[in-house]
Structure 1
């Protein structure tokens, strides 16, 4: 592989920010805080991200987005740097995080069901022109118009 072809495999921080959805400041923060390993730099001191860096960043973004604590992301990153000998520890970290996600999803499903019931209750009250006690109510015309618009959309 030529030096030019090798250089083409690396991305600068602007391209990585665009491809990951992270800001350049966030990428620098990840590195500074140990959430991402130090990135090699070129002769101009610009960061050079490899395809592997991008894959790791995408995984770390998912871990953070799903609520993995910063300390655990830092630990996961540290373990990545130690190689295959840490596969078991990484598996344990990811499995524990997965269990938290599954539990959170169950909570969210329950919360959504309660919210759906409340939405249905208010739609019914508005459609019937009632307050929460079942008495006739003077309704906000915007709420009635919104309900009619949603009914027309098939909501």
Structure 2
């Protein structure tokens, strides 16, 4: 696939894909005879992985570290696992914080909805 096809498939700007490759987040993409990037299925799996992790809020630096460890081979399996265990813990904490915020927003919305109902009732009362 070309960079434009990958960009369209994943909804990621071409400049972002180039940036990911330049900083080592995306392993080097092969090029065809004309020098145009030729993304393989494996490259697309990396893009999908990066997108998933970024959407979950994992920092680019952590993902660069992971890619570096991955490229070093099986001797880094434990280090990769620990990296993900730590990130999972951070993600769970953020999810808990977000749940609390959601509950607070739900409460505030309910208060405002009740206020609106009470105001409408007042307006509908006949004048004396």
TM-score normalised according to structure 2 size:
0.88
CA distance in 1, matches of 2:72, 2:30: 17
Structure 1: gaps of 5 or more residues: 1-10, 131-135, 138-155
Aligned equivalent of 2:102, options 112, 116, 119: 112
Which of 80, 93, 114 does residue 70 from structure 2 map onto?
80
| Structure with larger RCO (C-alpha < 8 A, sep 6+) | 2
Please state if 1:63 is matched with 2:79. Answer: no
TM-score scaled by length of structure 1:
0.74
2:126 aligns with none
Post-superposition offset of 1:37:
1.3
Q: Deviations over 1:80-135 (max 9, x none)?
A: 212222221111111111111111111111111111000000000011018xxxxx
CA deviations over 1:11-35 (Å, ceiling 9, x no partner): 1111111222211111001011111
**In the comparison of the two structures, how many residue pairs are matched?**
122
Structure 2, unmatched stretches of 5+, are: 124-128
Q: Structure 1 residues 112-121 or 14-23, which shifts more?
A: 14-23
2:118 to 118, 125, 128: 128
* Equivalent residue in structure 1 for 2:90, among 100, 104, 116: 100
User: Of 7, 11, 20, which aligns to 1:30?
Assistant: 20
